Amino acid sequence: MPRIKEQALKAELAQRGFESVSIKRELPGGRVQVEANKLYPVHVEAGESIYAPVPVSLSVELDARGRVKSIAGDTPTPAAVTDAARYIKTLRDSGHPQAGRPIIPSFRGKTEIKTAR
C-alpha cells in the first residue's frame, strides 16, 4: 500500500475512534488487515466503568478511491477487555496518578484524560 494511502487510511480510522493504527497486510478483495486500539468501556469495580484503549484486530474494506467502505471485527475480545481491566487495577494499586480517570474521546478522534475534581 502506498504511503500516502496508508496515511489517509490511518487518518480516516482515527476519525472513527481508532488509535495507534498499524496496517498489517493487504487482503484480497480490496480489504486491509489492521491492528489498532479503540476506546472501550472497561468495568473496573462494582458498577464503575471507564473508557480505556483496548487492542482490536479488524478487516477494513476500501472503495476504489481508497476510502473506508466497511469495517469488520472492531469489537475487542473479552480477553483484551479483561487484560485492560487488570492493567487499570494494577495502576490503581500502585498509586499511579492517572489510574481510574476516565479517558473520553474528543471531537477530533483524539483522547483526553478528564481530571476528577
107-116 mean pLDDT: 47
* pLDDT, position 61: 93
3-state helix, strand, coil in the chain (%, to 5): 25, 45, 30
Tell me the pLDDT tens digit for each residue of 82-101: 999 888 888 888 876 665 55
Report the candidate in 92, 102, 85 with the shortest Cα–Cα distance to residue 51.
102
pTM: 0.71
pLDDT of residue 63: 87
Specify burial of residue 95 (Cβ count, 10 A radius: 0-12, 13-18, 19+): exposed
Q: Higher-confidence residue: 24 or 44?
A: 24
